Amino acid sequence: MHDSPNGFAPKLAELRALLKKLGSVLVCYSGGTDSAFLLAVATSELGNLAIGLTALSPSLAQTERADAERIARSIGAVHRFVETREFDLPEYTANGPDRCLHCKSVLYQVAEEKRREWDLSVILNGTNVDDLGDYRPGNVAAEKAGVRSPLVELGFTKADVRAAARLLGLDVWDKPAAACLSSRIPYGTPVTPERLTQVEQLEATLRELGFGQLRVRWHHELARIEIDLVELERVLSPGLRERIVEAGKSCGFAFVTLDLAGYRQGSHNELLRGRSLRVV
pLDDT tens profile 76-93: 999 999 999 999 999 999
Q: How confident is the model at residue 139 (pLDDT cuts 50, 70, 90)?
A: confident
The pLDDT, as a whole number, for residue 80 is 98
CATH of domain 181-271: 3.30.70
> Shortest CA distance to 11 belongs to which of 124, 154, 149?
154
Shortest CA distance to 153 belongs to which of 4, 22, 23, 273? 22
Q: Where are the domains of the chain?
A: 5-174, 181-271
Which of 67-71, 166-170, 237-241, 270-274 has the lowest average pLDDT? Answer: 270-274
CATH number of 5-174: 3.40.50.620
Q: What is the band of 5 on the pLDDT scale with cuts at 50, 70, 90?
A: very low
pLDDT value at residue 207: 94
Cα distance between residue 181 and residue 163, in whole Å: 27
pLDDT of residue 132: 84
Closest by alpha carbon to 48, among 21, 82, 80? 80
Q: What are phi and psi of 122, to 5 degrees?
A: -150, 155
Could you give the residue ranges of the DSSP H alpha helices within the chain?
9-22, 33-46, 62-74, 90-93, 99-117, 138-145, 150-153, 158-167, 193-208, 232-235, 240-250
Q: What confidence category does residue 2 fall into, taking pLDDT thresholds of 50, 70 and 90?
A: very low
Q: What is the pLDDT of residues 157-197, one digit of tens each?
A: 999 999 999 999 999 999 988 889 999 999 999 999 999 99
Banded model confidence at residue 276, pLDDT cuts 50, 70, 90: very low
Closest by CA to 268, choosing from 131, 97, 87, 91, is 97
The pLDDT of residue 1 is above 50: no
> How sure is the predictor about 271, in pLDDT bands with cuts at 50, 70 and 90?
low
Q: What element of type H or E holds 27?
A: strand 25-28
Edge-to-edge strand list for the sheet holding 50-56: 78-83, 50-56, 25-28, 122-124
Please give the pLDDT value at position 278.
Answer: 37
SS3 of 160-186: the string is HHHHHHHHCCCHHHHCCCCCCHHHHCC
CA pair distance 256, 201, nearest whole angstrom? 14
**For residue 3, pLDDT beyond 60:** no
What's the whole-number mean pLDDT along residues 257-264? 94
What pLDDT was estimated at residue 6?
56
Task: Determine the 3-state secondary structure of 30 from DSSP.
Answer: coil
Least confident of 99-113, 132-146, 228-242, 248-262: 132-146
Nearest to 72 by CA among 17, 35, 106, 103: 35
Q: What is the pTM of this model?
A: 0.87
